[in-house]
Amino acid sequence: MVSISLEVNQQLKQKIEARTAQVGIIGLGYVGLPLALLFVEQGFPVTGLDIDDYKVEKLNTGQSYIVRIPGSEIELARGRGFSATSDYSRISDLDAVIICVPTPLDDFHQPDLSCITGTAKAIAPHLRAGQLVVLESTTYPGTTEEVLVPLLEAGNGNGLKVERAQGGKDGATFYVAFSPEREDPGNDTIARRDIPKVIGGVGPASSELAAALYGTIFNRTVPVSSPAAAEMTKLLENIYRCVNIALVNELKQLCHRMGIDLFEVIEAAKTKPFGFQSFYPGPGLGGHCIPIDPFYLSWKARQFDFHTRLIELAGEVNGQMPYYVVEKTAEALNDHAKALKGAKVLILGVAYKKDIDDLRESPALTIIELLRQRGTNVFYNDPYFAEVGCGRHYNLNMKCASLDDLAKYDCVLIVTDHSSYNYTQIARDALLVVDTRNAMKGIKSANIVRC
């Protein structure tokens, strides 16, 4: 009985080593699509799955919907056997299935696992013995074993169980692991293959197979004792950043009152060769991870009668930054004898960080809504977005404005410091500039307010 399970295990491992294992990536967004392309580069046959027919059609015609991934790269992948589908019955053809679906917060700032549970229920009927399922979506410790595994076991209809110990019953087992995504959109200094991959399997066989799979596309794998340890690793990484950004955001407000340039202070502090890592203030947090992940852990901690006070305080400080920006914009306009109500304000940059086409949790969206609530006429410019329509938490319906005549705006508010902007020209042409990103560093002008 044990030998059958071991034989299935070795068959999958041999397929992985030979690059013949059929790999499926569920969720073809900012995490899933780059991951799929990494496997394609290493010669694996890859199938991408997504419920968004727009994405499926784009990929199957050799087109990309992510700026940093050119269409030529998609076309090359298609030539190597990559295809996309919304048909989950294809799961039965795959040897390894990697889940990269969103894990947002709901309207009450509690974890929304609907994408994970929906995906698990869609996968389960098509599972077969010997398959490896890996969850990459960021979530709270316990999700893999408490949510994903029960759904997969209950829904497959074939009595398949996750192999928790070496050697499963009659080989009627499959394998499950958690390996957190570590994508950093816009970061061109570190190759994806050089980012170590943390892996926590449900049992030793799952860990071994997941490490073998990821070891083909990453230069280093980092096994940990359990999926929960891997889940907590991801949260620690992002909470560390969240807390430190909250620190500099709070100091930014204090330094403003004291007449001190915090950016100058940070540049001086980071000359220390030990014990300091530089973080920079801004208009608020954006992206799928840092604004969201701390709340996943805070929610889970309450099940253990534990209150994560530092984490929640950091989230509160960062969450207030868009309000701080609006108040400073109002003050700057007032100094120019102009009220916020009725003023024409141009937002420069709506992406959550520079040089990317990602709006997720962008503080610019909150700032736009806050300004509108105050009666401001708001416009935006962003080279990555011709228009901003509706999202999970916003409904803006705006089109990108031109930069041809900046003098027609009462204020230009820099929210995202894209490299393509000519800041010297902006300082020269705009009546008033409120800079939340230190984009105007080194430019001296009476019309610049550093916020």
Residue 189, burial from CB neighbour count under 10 angstroms (0-12, 13-18, 19+): exposed
Catalytic residue chosen out of the listed positions 242, 289, 411, 451: 289
> Rounded to whole angstroms, how far apart are CA atoms 296 and 200?
19
> Rounded to whole angstroms, how far apart are CA atoms 132 and 16?
11
272 contacts: CB under 8 Å, gap ≥ 6: none
Beta strand ranges found along 128-225 (DSSP E): 132-135, 161-162, 173-178, 197-201, 221-223
3-state secondary structure of 280: coil
Residue 294, burial from CB neighbour count under 10 angstroms (0-12, 13-18, 19+): buried
The two tokens of residue 105 are 């917060």
The residue length of the chain stands at 451
The two tokens of residue 185 are 């959109």
The two tokens of residue 155 are 């829904």
> Rounded to whole angstroms, how far apart are CA atoms 169 and 4?
8
> Rounded to whole angstroms, how far apart are CA atoms 164 and 57?
39
> Rounded to whole angstroms, how far apart are CA atoms 284 and 280?
11
Largest CA distance in the chain: 83
* Contact (Cβ atoms closer than 8 angstroms) between residue 45 and residue 96: no
Q: Mark out the alpha helices in 42-168 (DSSP H runs).
A: 53-60, 71-79, 114-123, 143, 149-155
The label of the residue with tokens 């916003």 reads: 394
Q: Respond yes or no: is residue 115 known to be catalytic.
A: no
Catalytic residues: 289
